[in-house]
Structure 1
Amino acid sequence: MAKIPNELIDRIRDSVNIVDVISQDVQLRAQGKNLMGHCPFHRDDTPSFAVNEQKQFFYCFSCHRSGNVFGFLQQLHHLSFPEAVEKVAQMANISLPRQYEPGANEANSQTSQVGQLINLHQTAAKLYHHILVSTPAGGAALHYLQKRGMSRQLIDEFNLGFAPDGDEEVLLEYCQQQKLDYQLLRKSGLFVTDRAGNLHDRFHGRVMYPLDGSNGQVIGFSGRILASKGNDHEPKYLNSPETELFNKRQSLFNLHRAKKAARTAGKIILFEGFMDVISAFGAGVANGVASMGTSLTDEQVQIIQRFCNEVVVCYDGDDAGQNAIDRAIKLIAQDAPKLTIRVVQLPAGLDPDEYVQQKGAQSFQQYLEGHVETPVEFQLHYLRRGLNLHQQDELIGYLNAVLRIIAGVSSAVEQNVYLKELADEFGLTVASLQDQVKQIGQTLPKRPAQKAPTNFNAPVDDSPEPAADPHVVSKVEGAERRLLAYYLDDEEVRQHLDQLNGFQFAHDAYQKVYNAVRDYLAQNQKPSIAAILDQLPDDQSRSILSEVSNLKVDHDSTDEVVNDCIAVVMDEAPLKQQIQAKQAALNEAAMVNDEAATTKIAQELVQLYQKQQNMKTEEIG
């Protein structure tokens, strides 16, 4: 693959709005000069992920990830730079010349290995689907799915398939015919190895549900066994193992479709099983997801809150489903306290799949809209299961339990609604229940107020910025950041700094960013943060550029601020240069075994280090 020309890279990057691209994976809201959302790269309870639409870059105030539209796709979807460029080109309907497409010369890269694994999973999904819908071997599985109400359209939409039973290794044989690498097959999770190291298909006699990543590419499978003799010892569902692609704690079935619908609906509906999601989709409910055969995880909760402000838990109506709802709402409330939780309880004995089959799509949609409960309403019903409320001790225990839950509700109006319901049902006075709730509330632990740390280089804006990691910087580093901010903003500052004899930033990282900006401006009239980010060699440099680009520049005092910053930096630079010179001299003395010179230079170097430390202590103080 030939190197993509910078002119073509610039054209492709400038053809899309980074907000439109990131919004496919992160829900963004306007806040000051930025759009804010929950960072997709770390656990982010308070939105700290900023997208600067004007300058076309993103930056997380907590984990300090940054980049332009290419960098976002690279980091989130594990793409190489050429692959990210190709993906953006596709979004912009720009044809990438064949010689610039990601090619075989990246075959040994880690990113390309991930790409090969994805291609292998895509191939396996197509093979399993073909077997299901076009061969006699898939007849029984196809009949099973049709009996459960799956139309051919739904089967094709979700690319459902079948892995044949018996000794035939259909996937392995196909891969061997394509001469695919043994190690690639072994890493994929699609095969198991025997003691001799031979590969065998992992899935046999199972309806295959492809598991897609957030970008719609197949990353794993879940296989449901067909009822037949001799397989009672087999698990009902068999998932792909953990691989470079697939982590079941961090995956949600149907997320790539649901996230699009969630942007319109403002919510995601959480179902228990794959068939529930597929049936709901067929009934016109496209914003449904399901966990991968396990209980909901905190990682999945974090993913959900990136895409919406509300989650509706719709599990089965049996006891197991009720218990799962209780666990889910507690986990969501703990891990994503700002996410609105609602519950839909289906009639006992029915799951969403069965409800759609029995009552139809329209009835299912109406039920979802008309039977929404708050978590407290759910608990009012859930906690009374198995109790005889005509028994005074059980009634008192129940009331104490629900009043403790109501005491945790922040809205006084909402509290009074629940208390009135209890008072009417059990012949009590609202006032007595209010007194009890007040007493309980005094015993509940108070949530500490979140306080944003004071930061020398924090972005200045009229609106509150997200709480960030306390990133303490010295006076010198703060001056370097401020100086770069003015350098990016003001043509006169650029001319002044570039013509300043002997000027050098005290820290190599800032000098590296300055050099990149200066080199870019040698070919362009104005700085483009999005373009310069592509020229920087490492994450630290990109983070620094993103940070300083968010700093506010005071045009009324430019000369004063810039001169002060230059003075601070130049005072530090000579000391740094002295230390470097002494270190070189110490190495030379050690090489010739001059013990006297080594001792003398080492003492001088210690004194310089002490002077440098004293300066930093004074700056921080």
Structure 2
Amino acid sequence: MARLSQELIDQVRQSVDIADVISQDVQLQRQGKNLVGHCPFHEDNTPSFSVSEQKQFFYCFSCHRSGSVFDFLMELHHLSFPQAVEQVAKLGSVTLPSDFQANDEARQSQAPDSQQSQLIKLHQTAMRLYHHILMNTPAGEPARRYLKKRGLTQELIDQFNLGYAPKEEVLKVVLEKEGHDYQLLRRSGLFTENRDGSLHDRFFDRVMFPLKDGQGRPVAFSGRLLQKSADSPKYLNSPETPIFNKRRLIFNFDLAKKAARENGKLLLFEGYMDVISAYGAGVLNGIASMGTSLTDEQLSMIVKTTNQLDICYDGDAPGQNAIERALKLIEASPVANQLRLRVVQLPTGQDPDEYIQQNGGARFREYLKNTEETPTAFRLRYLRQGLNLSNQAELLSYLNAAIGVIAKVSDPVARDVYIQQLAKEFQLSPQNLQQQLAVQVKKQPPVAVPNPTPPGEQWSDDSAVISGRRPFNGSQGQRYGRYNRKKHQATAQPAPQAVVLTASEQQSLALDQTERAERLLLVAVLHDYGVRAQLKAMPDFDFIHDQYRHLYQLALNYFTEHDEYELASFLDYVDDPALKATLTQLDGLDAQAALSPEAIDDCLRIIMQKTPLTQKIAQVKLSLQEAKARSNQELITQLTVELIELYGQKQRLKTEETS
């Protein structure tokens, strides 16, 4: 089995964003510079799990787990280090040596994995080819005019890798010239197959939208006809393949999930062009499903990213119907009580693309911000569709249906607000409406809630936060201590404060002046080549406390292979979880890394003044033990006196340090 070089391991780690990997298991929210969430390694009622995108590491301020993306996968999914590297390599599309196999299981699955990688490469080739044809050939001119008419800039076209599949067959010719296997081409979904087994390009004369997975890799296409045809659908999607399952793919999810961590929500649009136009208007958290219905798999992806979803569909009757269908589908899903829903309905006759072109991006962002409404408010308006409320019979029918909708709201204050609005609008007695409401409320089935949540509307209007926690297995319990294995059900929590290491927390971690000096000096060692060289030139120097001594030796080894310090990379050098935690805590001191030469000298003086004394005490204690073994009473007396004097010196030094 091939042994991976440190350079390749670093390349694998840097190929992904640790936040993207962790967010598949833990819902993260922006707090200051870092992302925070509930720790997946222990029962965590208050978010204590911090992820640094800048430095690519995680740390829990409660259980003190810490490490790189490899450590996270190893601990949560019980992988070996080679297995974790292999998994990250797949996510980051990094090719490992052909003879590298993390274990027997990997060896058995080598062929499918190789096929997956090859299929993705085929789609990358197709994406580049279609984009080139769109932007650089006469054949792409009609498609360029269409996209320009829709308001798409060159930057947006490049951002989403849009392309054009011409009327002529080109993709098959290109891929066959590259020598790709016939069976691989058959399985790619890029071609149709005749009865005689011959392959032909699936997409002709269509604007091509690459469909990407959560890591931003193209796995399928959706092609839009430029000219209407009675024989062809307006949009044609790739069939399902080993790398594409439409139930598990969300358009623009790879980009939107990062933006959702910043503003706490995702925006669901009806179509790809809506998402792209919104992106060009500065709305970066827009997504679209693969069709008109959201699947449970897609909703599971959403709740791992955010706890709020805004549905933004067209304002016409079909758009309202689509909103109602989406609400019902989400409410019936397993994650209904984990997602807060809001509706943003555009003016009648306009989709997001048209609104942006007419009003501009700034107005669109303001509209999204100011016109959010709850599902209940939307439904009270939706029920009026097609009714003549001037007609008494239709008005009574509407009021009865509206009270039925309000009865499903769990918060009595919210119910009262809606009743007051109805009473005011139709000049009715609030008391009479309340009486009818009370009857309807009694008919409602009890709502099963895993844990008490803040008052809210039953239709997923609560603020439950998803943690993505998983219970510890036995081996982790033996390694790190016993943890409650009962699956935690998260309730809404107040927004946590930004998780930073304060000065008081830093000092509380230090036992005395000597250890504070060790901590500052070790941080300087990690960040300053000159300090490392200075210490290496001092053969008598050593740290006093074991954890800093071990980290110093690991650092010297680390810098034989690396020119610069990177916390995530160095964490891979450290096996001991306690040392990982110490190293992560030290990272909070990196603002002081650029110590002056005088400060370095002070640290060295404090450490080296105590180091010889500590070593001498150890030597005398060893000699005393040997003297006792030989029953040399005279030597025992001499060494005992000497040891008492040394302990006296140590006590005086300690008194000086604290004074």
Fold-level match, TM-score > 0.5?
A: yes
Change (3 A) 1:483 1:54: closer
CA contact under 8 A between 1:355 and 1:364: conserved in structure 2? yes
Alignment of 1:357-506 (within 5 A): 357-450=357-450
Name the counterpart of 1:131. Answer: 133
1:23–1:389 distance in 2 versus 1, CA, 3 Å: same
Cα contact 2:27–2:305 (8 A) shared by 1: yes
Q: Partners in 1 of 2:271 and 2:299 — Cα distance? A: 16
Find out whether 1:158 has 2:166 as its counterpart. no
Is the 1:251–1:291 Cα contact (8 Å) retained in structure 2? Answer: yes
Give the structure-1-normalised TM-score: 0.64
The answer to whether the Cα contact below 8 Å between 2:344 and 2:371 also exists between their aligned partners in 1 is yes
Could you tell me how far 1:146 is from its partner in structure 2? 0.6
1:102 aligns with 2:96: yes
Match in the other structure for 1:205: 205
- 2:408, 2:441 within 8 Å by CA — same for their partners in 1? yes
Distance 1:195 1:89 in 2: 38
Structure 1 residue identity aligned to 2:155: Q
Between the aligned partners of 1:291 and 1:25, the Cα distance in structure 2 is 21
Match for 2:118 among 108, 116, 120?
116
Amino acid at match of 1:30: H
Kindly state the Cα deviation for residue 448 of structure 1 after the two structures are TM-superposed.
2.9
* Structure-1 separation of matches of 2:187 and 2:130: 19
Q: Which residue of structure 2 aligns with residue 299 of structure 1? A: 297
Given residue 224 of structure 2, which amino acid in structure 1 is its aligned partner?
R
| Cα contact 1:242–1:248 (8 A) shared by 2 | yes
Higher relative contact order (CA closer than 8 Å, sequence separation 6+): 2
Aligned to 1:23: 23
1:119/1:322 CA distance change after superposition, 3 Å: same
Select the residue among 302, 318, 322 that pairs with 2:316. Answer: 318
Between the aligned partners of 2:166 and 2:15, the Cα distance in structure 1 is 46
Deviations 1:452-475 (A, max 9, x none): 9xxxxxxxxxxx99999999xxxx
Q: Give, as a single letter, the amino acid of the residue that structure 2 aligns with 1:137.
A: A
Secondary structure of the residue that 1:54 maps to in structure 2? coil
CA contact (8 A) 2:140 2:164 kept: yes
* Residue pair 1:80, 1:112 contacting (<8 A) in 2 also: no
Q: Percent identity?
A: 49
Aligned counterparts of 1:318 and 1:145: Cα–Cα separation in 2? 24
Counterpart Cα distance in 2 of 1:87 and 1:36: 33
Q: Distance in 1 between matches of 2:75 and 2:353?
A: 37
Hey, what's the Cα distance between the residues in 2 that align with 1:113 and 1:72?
28
- 1:70–1:7 Cα change, 3 Å: farther
**CA deviation after TM superposition for structure 1 residue 346, in Å:** 0.8
> Shift in Å at residue 147 of structure 1?
0.9
Q: By how many angstroms is 1:426 displaced?
A: 1.2
Counterpart mapping for 1:264-279 below 5 A: 264-279=262-277
Q: Is the 8 A contact 1:313 1:343 kept in 2?
A: yes
> Is the contact between residue 18 and residue 69 of structure 1 (CA under 8 Å) also seen in structure 2?
no
Following superposition, the deviation at residue 376 of structure 1 comes to 0.9
Is the 1:18–1:68 Cα contact (8 Å) retained in structure 2?
no
Contact 1:25 1:307 in 2 (8 A): no
- The letter for the 1-side match of 2:292 is T
**Aligned-residue RMSD, C-alpha:** 4.2
Give deviations 1:155-200, integer Å, cap 9, x for gaps: 11111000001xx321111111110111111111011111011111
Distance 1:53 1:283, change over 3 A: farther
Match of 1:342 in 2: 342
Specify whether residues 350 and 444 from structure 1 end up closer, same or farther in structure 2 by C-alpha distance, changes over 3 A only.
same
| 1:54 match | 64
User: Within 2, Cα distance between the matches of 1:12 and 1:54?
Assistant: 25
SS at match of 2:38: strand
> Partner residue of 2:280?
282
CA distance in 2, matches of 1:56, 1:225: 51
Call closer, same or farther: CA 1:164–1:470 in 2, change over 3 Å. closer
Residues 19 and 53 in structure 1, CA contact (< 8 A), matched pair in contact too = no
For 2:149, the equivalent position in structure 1 comes to 147
Superposed displacement of residue 112, structure 1: 2.0
Matched-pair contact (CA < 8 Å) for 2:165–2:205: yes
Shift of 1:250: 1.7
In 1, the alpha carbon distance for the partners of 2:376 and 2:442 equals 19
State the distance in 1 between where 2:14 and 2:311 align: 40
1:512-570 per-position Cα deviation (integer Å, ceiling 9, x unaligned): xxxxxxxxxxx99846899xxxxxxxxxxxxxxxxxxxxxxxxxxxxxxxxxxxxxxxx
Q: Which moved more, 1:15-24 or 1:185-194?
A: 15-24
Determine the C-alpha separation between the residues in 1 that align with 2:300 and 2:466: 21
Contact 1:17/1:56 (<8 A) preserved? no
Tell me if structure 1 keeps the 8 A contact 2:165–2:207. yes
The verdict on how the C-alpha distance between 1:7 and 1:249 changes in structure 2, with shifts beyond 3 A counting, is closer
Q: How does 1:527-566 map to 2 (within 5 A)?
A: none
Q: Which amino acid aligns with 1:102?
A: L
Counterparts of 1:36 and 1:197, CA distance in 2 = 59
> d(CA) in 2 for partners of 1:36 and 1:240?
43
1 CA distance for matches of 2:64 and 2:390? 65
**1:106-137: CA deviations, max 9, x gaps?**
79532221111111111110000000000111
Partner Cα separation in structure 1 for residue 372 and residue 296 of structure 2: 23
Q: Within 2, Cα distance between the matches of 1:208 and 1:36?
A: 46
C-alpha distance in 1 between matches for 2:237 and 2:425: 47
With the length of structure 2 as denominator, give the TM-score of the two structures: 0.60
2-structure distance, mates of 1:359, 1:75: 52
Aligned to 2:590: none
- For residues 81 and 469 of structure 1, do their structure 2 counterparts lie closer, same or farther at Cα, with a shift above 3 Å needed? closer
Gaps of 5+ in 1: 38-49, 59-65, 91-95, 453-463, 472-476, 489-522, 531-621
Per the alignment, in what secondary structure is the counterpart of residue 309 of structure 2?
A: strand
**Residues of 1 paired with 2:291 and 2:14: CA distance?**
42
Q: Provide closer, same or farther for how the CA distance between residues 484 and 85 of structure 1 changes in structure 2, counting only shifts above 3 A.
A: closer
Distance 1:308 1:467 in 2: 11
- Give the corresponding residue for 2:610: none
Q: Which runs of 5+ in 2 are unaligned?
A: 29-36, 47-58, 101-108, 453-464, 484-572, 581-659
Segment of structure 1 superposing worse, 307-316 or 3-12: 3-12
Amino acid at match of 2:394: E
**Cα-to-partner distance string for 1:579-611 (whole Å, 9 max, x where unaligned):** xxxxxxxxxxxxxxxxxxxxxxxxxxxxxxxxx
1:221: Cα distance to partner? 0.4
Deviation at 1:69, TM superposition (A): 3.5
**Does the C-alpha gap of structure 1 residues 265 and 233 become closer, same or farther in structure 2, counting only changes over 3 Å?**
same
Quickly say closer, same or farther: Cα 1:291–1:449, change in 2 above 3 A.
closer
Shift of the 430–259 alpha-carbon distance from structure 1 to 2, 3 Å rule, reads same
Distance in 1 (CA, whole Å) between partners of 2:244 and 2:87 is: 20
Q: 1:225 maps to what in 2?
A: 225
Alignment match, 1:234: 232
Provide the residue aligned with 1:493 in structure 2: none
3-state SS of 1:314 partner = strand
1:13 and 1:70 in contact (8 A); partners too:
no
State which of 227, 243, 246 in structure 2 corresponds to 1:245. 243
Shift of 1:484: 6.5
Amino acid at match of 1:257: L
8 Å Cα contact 1:55-1:529 kept in structure 2: no
Give, in whole Å, the separation in 1 of the partners of 2:574 and 2:470. 35
> Offset at 1:81?
5.2
Given that residues 73 and 84 in structure 1 are in contact (C-alpha distance below 8 angstroms), is that contact kept between their aligned partners in structure 2?
Answer: no
1:169 equivalent in alignment to 2:169: yes
